[in-house]
Amino acid sequence: MRVGILSDIHGNLVALEAGLSDLRRRKVEHVLCLGDVAATGPQPCEVIELLKPLKWSCVLGNSDETLARDIADIPPAKEWEQLPGEDRRRLQQLDEWTRKQLSKSHRAYLSTFKRTIAFNPGEGPSFLCYHGSPKSNRDRIEATTPDDALTKYLQGYEVDIFAGGHTHTQLFRRFRDSIIVNPGSVGLPFQVDPSGRVRNPTRADYAVVSLTGKSFGLEFLSVPYSRAELEAAVRDGGLPNPDWWLSDWC
């Protein structure tokens, strides 16, 4: 059995379709989606409409929650204050634009997402899925997160695989008798270069867990797609400040 784990689509239908094609090529039988499916990208409604009939198990990300409630999604104060004023204004415009695109049906769909999802495929490893951590969809679990912080985030759960997103960075880390997996971001796999500038490569990142009895293997995958197609989606969809949004993509 092959289980796909993906996260952070962020309204990027071009990336999602590339990832979905690869999932099908690899004959993945079950998909765990770790949230943040629609916000900040050019095709929020189209992504939701594609996901609905797939009936994937979906976790409630922080931006899914604010979109479902139709309220502004403001980053933590420390992160927000570090942004230039013009970037903050543009992000607010992007958030407002996204919320206006969604219908009641779209928000109702996002409201069906769960804060955590337990998945146990018989004799194989047990999974616990979340967005940031099992405690909050805004927590960040990273390679450098101290073990005492991990204990606070993960205490009370005994599973083989913890699977979360939110950081947009692929991660494999052992914690006691478990492993922690972050598949990276399908729609916004940003990188920070040595100068501090953010770059978004046109690739859909995700992971596949292959189960054989009680054993399992893990693959981190990156699927390239066309920047031209992404740019066309941005300009055709009416995204505010399109040149600014596209300037980080390479």
Q: What is the pLDDT of residues 201-216, one digit of tens each?
A: 999 999 999 998 888 9
**Domain-located, residue 2:** no
Mean residue pLDDT across the chain: 94
Instruction: Name the packing angle between helices 227-237 and 13-25 (round to 10°).
Output: 140
pLDDT (tens digit, 9 = 90+) per residue, 18-68? Answer: 999 999 999 999 999 999 999 999 999 999 999 999 999 999 999 999 999
Q: 195 pLDDT exceeds 80?
A: no
What is the value of pTM for the model shown? 0.95
Which among 180, 141, 144, 185 has a CA at the least distance from the CA of 162?
A: 180
For residue 242, the model assigns a pLDDT of 96
Tell me if residue 9 falls in helix, strand or coil: coil
Share of the chain above pLDDT 90, in %: 84
Q: 235 pLDDT exceeds 80?
A: yes
Q: How far apart are CA 188 and CA 247, in angstroms?
A: 13
> Tokens 């390479």 map to which residue?
250
**What is the arithmetic mean of pLDDT over 140-162?**
95
Going by pLDDT thresholds of 50, 70 and 90, the confidence category of residue 80 is low
Q: How far apart are CA 238 and CA 221, in angstroms?
A: 31
Report the helix count and the strand count for the chain, using DSSP H and E.
Answer: 9, 12
CATH number at residue 145: 3.60.21.10
Question: Which tops the pLDDT comparison, 85 or 143?
Answer: 143
pLDDT (tens digit, 9 = 90+) per residue, 90-99? Answer: 989 999 999 9
Tell me if residue 99 falls in helix, strand or coil: helix
**Domain-located, residue 122:** yes
**Domain-located, residue 154:** yes
For residue 81, the model assigns a pLDDT of 66
Question: Which tops the pLDDT comparison, 79 or 60?
Answer: 60
**Domain-located, residue 139:** yes
CB contact at 8 A, 132 and 162: no
Report the 10 Å Cβ neighbour count for 90. Answer: 16
Q: Domain range spanning residue 117? A: 8-204+214-246
**Domain-located, residue 52:** yes
Q: 192 pLDDT exceeds 80?
A: no
- Cα dihedral value 135, 137, 138, 144, nearest 10: 70
Instruction: Name the packing angle between helices 85-101 and 44-51 (round to 10°).
Output: 50
Q: 197 pLDDT exceeds 90?
A: no
Q: How many residues does the chain have?
A: 250
Q: How many structural domains is the chain composed of?
A: 1
**Domain-located, residue 209:** no
**Domain-located, residue 136:** yes
For residue 250, the model assigns a pLDDT of 85
For residue 124, the model assigns a pLDDT of 83
